Structure 1
Amino acid sequence: MLSFGYEQSESAMKRLLSLAALLVIIPHFQAVAGSSLPVTRSIGAPVGFAGACARYKWLCGRMAAQQLDEQTAIALLQKVNRAVNGRIVSAEDRSSSGNGDVWSLPVAGRGDCEDYALQKMKDLIEAGYPSNRLALSVVIGPHDQNHVVLVARTDAGDYVLDNLTGAVKPWRATGYTFLATQDFQSRTGWRVTLAGPRAGEFS
């Protein structure tokens, strides 16, 4: 489960927060891409993020990166998303680590949604993807569940890497409502996004 240290003004949000061949995939991305997640004011980070930030330098720091052209970037996102989804078994924090609401890399090949997202961020950074173009994001997932995904910024827009699907999709194509996202630039901060089909419920 995810929790944020928000005040009563955030009560509504707080309640909700308690592959084809590459040559076929890339033209599809280009056809439906085109926008970045909107961000507004700063907001407190989810519980568990600060601990992960302290443990993993790459999560909240600026790391050396390569210059990747668009096709190379998209191919890398697809490769990492499928690879991590394929090798990690989904498990709640308490069953995988023994503690509740711990943001960490998967333990013994098991993890929940934020653990998948952290592993994907780590793998992408190690492969040369710019760290300041990767951010964790909290969304309203299937059946109104709290859910964390990884957002990757490209010149064509923001894409989502999700442990629930092998497809990397533009954020608008996910069907999710985005609530808060790690600041791409500061890395330690979080920003309100409020974008997606249910965003109006919180505005």
Structure 2
Amino acid sequence: MFKRTGQGSKGLAIVALLLGMGTAAHAGEERVLYASLGDTTRAPIGWIEFCSDNPEECRGGASQPRDIVLSQTAWRDLSKVNRWVNENVKPMTDMDHWGVIEKWSLPTDGYGDCEDYVLLKRKLLIDAGWPREALLITVVRDRKGEGHAVLTVKTDKGEYVLDNQNENVVAWTETGYRFVKRQSQSDPNVWVSLGDGRPAVATASAKQPYR
């Protein structure tokens, strides 16, 4: 769709415009469960340094929490962003990329690890008019028990996850992950611990609202 190299912020702006995000109202259906919030906790390693290097991506301060109205259009656009970023960014560890163990960065050169995918998806959606209060960077333990980052989208039908390990947008209850912490809806620079309240083996039956 776009070249990976040499496009930078121009490429990000173009794809955001082409996606034409919409959040039209849709008749509410039964909501899936939300992850329960705990106390405030430390930001993940790499976040503070990323904000120091990219203050425009972290500004905001306290605001009113907002959820997306999950219309068919909004669902299609979430799916487009998730798939486009997954297809156009190649996985590369921070050690191979930057020579350090952990570094958060926007993958403008076409390479990155899990949190870099998340940062790009979040940026594309915010640049297209989606409220940042509904787009929350989230730290999880994956099926192997390893640390991983995903983007949680807060909607009127529950919480959905954009993940570089899955081309589909899925309900958080269907990821098989253990949720650890995420950004607060009220302030992107405040992080809160999470407890999903499920048994060790997930048995939730929440499905994608649109196919």
| TM-score > 0.5 by shorter chain | yes
**Alignment partner of 2:168: what SS?**
coil
**Alignment partner of 1:192: what SS?**
strand
Tell me the residue number matched to 2:60: 61
Q: For structure 1, which segment, 32-41 or 144-153, has the greater mean C-alpha deviation from structure 2 after superposition?
A: 32-41
Partner letter of residue 44 of structure 2? P
Tell me the residue number matched to 2:47: 49
TM-score (norm 1): 0.75
**Per-residue CA distance 1:47-86 (angstroms, 9 max, x = gap):** 10112223142344279x9x86622221111110000000
Root mean square deviation, CA, Å: 2.5
Tell me the residue number matched to 1:34: 32
CA distance in 1, matches of 2:70, 2:146: 35
The CA deviation at 1:167 is: 0.5
The CA deviation at 1:98 is: 2.6
Tell me the residue number matched to 2:139: 138
Tell me the residue number matched to 2:93: 92
CA distance in 2, matches of 1:74, 1:161: 11
CA distance in 2, matches of 1:166, 1:56: 30
CA distance in 2, matches of 1:60, 1:46: 17
Tell me the residue number matched to 2:77: 76
Tell me the residue number matched to 1:183: 184
Q: Is the 8 A contact 1:33 1:170 kept in 2?
A: no
Flag structure 2 segments of 5+ consecutive residues without an equivalent.
1-27, 202-211
Q: Is the 8 A contact 1:150 1:160 kept in 2?
A: yes
1:104 aligns with 2:105: yes
CA distance in 2, matches of 1:80, 1:44: 28
CA distance in 1, matches of 2:162, 2:190: 20
Tell me the residue number matched to 2:11: none
Tell me the residue number matched to 1:128: 129
Q: Is the 8 A contact 1:32 1:170 kept in 2?
A: no
**Alignment partner of 1:74: what SS?**
helix
The CA deviation at 1:36 is: 2.3
TM-score (norm 2): 0.72
Q: Is the 8 A contact 1:70 1:155 kept in 2?
A: no
Tell me the residue number matched to 2:167: 166
**Alignment partner of 2:36: what SS?**
coil
What is the aligned-residue identity percentage? 35
CA distance in 2, matches of 1:96, 1:33: 40
CA distance in 2, matches of 1:155, 1:116: 24
Q: Is the 8 A contact 1:34 1:157 kept in 2?
A: yes
CA distance in 1, matches of 2:145, 2:34: 23
- Summarize the Cα distance change of 1:42–1:124 in structure 2 as closer, same or farther, 3 Å threshold: same
Total equivalences in the alignment: 168
Partner letter of residue 57 of structure 2? W
Higher helix share: 1
**Alignment partner of 2:37: what SS?**
coil
The CA deviation at 1:32 is: 8.6
Tell me the residue number matched to 1:25: none
Partner letter of residue 156 of structure 1? K
CA distance in 2, matches of 1:170, 1:130: 19
Q: Is the 8 A contact 1:85 1:116 kept in 2?
A: yes
